[in-house]
Amino acid sequence: MTRLTRYVTAELLPPLLAGTLLFTAILSFGYFFISSQWLSGVPVGLIARWIGYQMPDTLVKVFPMAVVLMTVVAFGRMSTERELVAVQGGGISLGRIARPAAVVALLVTALSVWLSLWVAPRANVETRGLYWDALTGAGLSQLVGKTVDLGNNLTLSMQGYDAAKRELRGVRVQKWQPDGEARGTVILAERGTFENNRLSLSGYSTFVVDYGAVAALTRIPENDPAAFRAAVQDVFPSVIVPEKATDTLNVDTGLSRKQTLAQYADAIGADAQGWPELITKLTAPGVSAADRADARVNLNRKLALPFANLVLVLAALPFALRFGRTLGVSLGIALMIAVAYYLLFFVGLTVAGLIPDFPEAGVWLANVLFAGAGLWQLRRT
């Protein structure tokens, strides 16, 4: 039995590796082609580094396709050459023969979970930071005119950005008190820089504003200037204007520069939430219901796709036994199964948004249906 396991495993690994390389190359070329207009004159090493940062997220996406190809090619060949018939004639069940495929798929699943929840989110942040700061040189210019949430109750907006100096122009920073929406701090600055998790502002003025006290201004008699000054003082309990224009104010941010680029620079933010961030959203107090529901969907999505590697072995095996006659046919069947799975997976994500009380049902829909279809087909084989 050990010899049979080694033999089947040796049949599985080459198409798995070939499929992984093939589909990874296709997706990587797509990334390069879409961004090629920005890559003129960029050093090859920098481009290779940028593509390398995308590998963890790419592998999570291509592993299910590679696993399907592995199953169809390996078992299709053994079925065509009657090797499976010979082994089964010796009293060995199909389930026992397919056990190495399940083990390989389980290992790929474990690797995918690790990549999806711990490696890919960090790499995605590095990808966006490298793209906007090094490859395109645009830096934070994509954020001009936007109001972005930097965490720690901070919001940032700016009127301009000098990419050559990496300098923000016309900066407004707002920080609202967590215990009430009516009181906050507003910082206006002529210039600033944003590096790592720190905003450094110059030519600034700081105003603590209590909007809850504004209404009292309307109730003050016109002939009582002292009361009016006191009411204004209540509205602006603190105003700081530095004596020197060269003085700098440093503000610590929740999001780093790279995280801010990853979340706000593109029309679709990078997938930068891993296990720590998702668990914090699910368990920490004070998280809004919408953010908690979004975290549930994201966590299940990051688990469901890796577990598709196991499900698709089960779903692809009946097709391999029936139709896996040649390499070309096997490749076509593998692509058909993979495309059908991904289409149903995206449909499930849409369904998850329609059932906020139980989004897991939509996220895992494709896995459940493909597993059920695979078992049903195997019983008929």
Q: How confident is the model at residue 1 (pLDDT cuts 50, 70, 90)?
A: low
Residue that is written with structure tokens 């797509």 in the block: 30
Q: How confident is the model at residue 151 (pLDDT cuts 50, 70, 90)?
A: confident
Cβ contact 199:251 at 8 Å: yes
The C-alpha angle with vertex 372 and arms to 367 and 374, in degrees rounded to 5, equals 95
How far apart are the C-alpha atoms of 193 and 133, rounded to whole Å? 14
- In whole angstroms, how far apart are CA 275 and each of 119, 268, 269, 295? 10, 20, 18, 10
Q: How confident is the model at residue 215 (pLDDT cuts 50, 70, 90)?
A: confident
Cβ neighbours of residue 109 under 8 Å, at least 6 residues apart? Answer: 306, 307, 309, 310
- Residue 378, Cα to own-chain centre: how many angstroms? 35
Instruction: Give me the amino acid identity at 154.
Output: L
**What value does the mean pLDDT take over residues 146-166?**
94
> Could you tell me which residue, 197 or 237, shows the higher pLDDT?
197
pLDDT in tens, 58-101: 999 999 999 999 999 999 888 888 888 788 777 888 888 899 99
> Could you tell me which residue, 90 or 191, shows the higher pLDDT?
191
Q: How confident is the model at residue 180 (pLDDT cuts 50, 70, 90)?
A: low
Look up the pTM and report it.
0.89
Q: For residue 252, which of 147, 149, 184, 151 has the smallest C-alpha distance?
A: 151
> Could you tell me which residue, 40 or 175, shows the higher pLDDT?
175
Answer yes or no: is pLDDT of 280 > 90.
yes
pLDDT in tens, 301-342: 999 999 999 999 999 999 888 886 677 788 888 889 999 999
Residue 299 in tokens: 């966590």
Answer yes or no: is pLDDT of 28 > 80.
yes
Q: How confident is the model at residue 34 (pLDDT cuts 50, 70, 90)?
A: confident
Percent over 70 (pLDDT), the chain: 97
Identify the pLDDT of residue 47.
86
Q: How confident is the model at residue 244 (pLDDT cuts 50, 70, 90)?
A: confident
Identify the pLDDT of residue 225.
83
Percent over 90 (pLDDT), the chain: 62
pLDDT in tens, 96-118: 889 999 999 999 999 999 999 99
> Could you tell me which residue, 215 or 354, shows the higher pLDDT?
354
How far apart are the C-alpha atoms of 155 and 335, rounded to whole Å? 45
Identify the pLDDT of residue 348.
96
Cβ contact 271:57 at 8 Å: yes
Cβ neighbours of residue 107 under 8 Å, at least 6 residues apart? Answer: none
Identify the pLDDT of residue 36.
66
State the sign of the Cα–Cα–Cα–Cα dihedral 284, 287, 292, 298: negative
Answer yes or no: is pLDDT of 209 > 80.
yes
Q: How confident is the model at residue 179 (pLDDT cuts 50, 70, 90)?
A: low
- Looking at the chain, list the stretches that DSSP marks H as alpha helix, in order from N- to C-terminal side: 2-34, 44-53, 55-80, 83-89, 94-97, 99-114, 120-130, 225-235, 257-264, 275-283, 289-323, 327-354, 360-363, 365-380
Identify the pLDDT of residue 222.
75
Answer yes or no: is pLDDT of 364 > 80.
yes
